[in-house]
Amino acid sequence: MDLTLGYDVLAMLFAIALVAGFLDAMAGGGGLITIPALLLSGVPPLIALATNKVQGCSGSLTASIAMIRMGMLRPQDVGWPFLAALIGSVLGAIAIHYVDAKALDIIIPAVLIGIAVYFILAPKAGEVDGKPRMGRMAYRTTVIPAIGLYDGMFGPGTGSFFALAGVALRGQNLVRATAHAKAMNFASNIAAVAVFIASGKILWIVALSMVCGQVIGASLGSVAVVKGGSKYIRPLIVTMCMIMIGRYFWQYFR
């Protein structure tokens, strides 16, 4: 994909990716600022989605590695969920080439409202491990692929979706659910990237500039997750969900 952007624009996108990487590591929703930034820079919509996946993939990988090093994530615990998210994302990335992504504007706000309301009305949820409400096999074969499908098609909020699912359905504490979400988010990102590479939709100079910012931001955000625990994660998830809800309604009613 040939598209010339100035060094000032690349520097701006680097800075935006750094902030997005921090937010994604903490609560998800970084795509809320990276995708609009790419679009405002003159990148066509599908190219923006593809390019965003590359930089998002680097952030989720960085956060996953950091969580493993800090003892918050064991690779053997997320092997099958990783595969389930990857398969869902591949299907989503293929589907986005043939469907109107605006159809998601009807479903996603309702899901985001549900996430925000859940964490507001259940302030103790996720403080400690609880009793699972869904069996492991059902969770891995339905919920995780569904979130992966959404991530492959669009993406913003995926980390929040994975974290909520871990807390509400599998009884994980919020820090553990967030750590697991990073690994599954990496799977869904890398699957989508592979599809977009094959279709030639990635603007590499922009993607690599944003990768640098994502790596820095994700590293800082991962440390904040472990040091601050649910004290920081919960309000950030609610805040990012509310901002994304506002974005969807603004786009719908403008």
The answer to whether residue 224 is domain-embedded is yes
The answer to whether residue 160 is domain-embedded is yes
The answer to whether residue 1 is domain-embedded is no
Instruction: Give the pTM.
Output: 0.76
The answer to whether residue 2 is domain-embedded is no
Q: How many domains does the chain have?
A: 1
The answer to whether residue 152 is domain-embedded is yes
* pLDDT tens column, 22-31: 888 876 777 7
- SS3 for the chain is CCCCCCHHHHHHHHHHHHHHHHHHHHCCCCHHHHHHHHHHCCCCHHHHHHHHHHHHHHHHHHHHHHHHHCCCCCHHHCHHHHHHHHHHHHHHHHHCCCCCHHHHHHHHHHHHHHHHHHHHHCCCCCCCCCCCCCCHHHHHHHHHHHHHHHHHHCCCCHHHHHHHHHHHHHCCCHHHHHHHHHHHHHHHHHHHHHHHHHCCCCCHHHHHHHHHHHHHHHHHHHHHHHHHCHHHHHHHHHHHHHHHHHHHHHHHHC
Question: Domain range spanning residue 104?
Answer: 7-253
The answer to whether residue 12 is domain-embedded is yes
* pLDDT tens column, 84-141: 999 998 898 888 777 765 655 566 676 667 767 766 776 555 455 678 889 999 999 9
The answer to whether residue 73 is domain-embedded is yes
The answer to whether residue 61 is domain-embedded is yes
The pLDDT assigned to 19 comes to: 87
